[in-house]
Each structure stands twice: as structure tokens, then as C-alpha cells.
Amino acid sequence: MTVDSFKSKIKVSTVFIYIVKCRILRVLNIEMIDKYKEKNMREKDL
């Protein structure tokens, strides 16, 4: 295992983690926005 291959592995895993994090955050944001919209709709109905 050379230092270069080790560094490239770290880089790949960092990018992978970043992508996964972005996906999770996007999904959470969508859910939050949906809940917020629902809440607003209910308040308008009242």
C-alpha cells in the first residue's frame, strides 16, 4: 500500500461521504418543507 493509493482512497471516501450527506440533507429538507407547507395549509383553513 503506497502513500498515493492511500491518499486517493481517502479522497474517494471523502467525496462519497459528501455525496451521501448531500442526499440525506436534501431528503430531510424536502420532508421539512412538506411538513411546513402542511402546517401552513392547516392554519389557512382555520
Q: What is the pLDDT of residue 45?
A: 73
Residue 1 pLDDT > 80: no
Amino acid code (one letter) for 10: I
pTM of model > 0.85: no
Measuring CA to CA, how many Å separate 9 from each of 16, 17, 20, 21, 36? 10, 12, 16, 18, 40
Question: Which residue shows C-alpha cell 482512497?
Answer: 9
Domain assignment of residue 28, given as a range: 1-46
- The counts of H helices and E strands in the chain are 1, 0
Average pLDDT over residues 17-36: 94
Provide the domain count of the chain.
1
Q: What is the pLDDT of residue 46?
A: 64
Distance CA(21)–CA(3), nearest Å, equals: 27
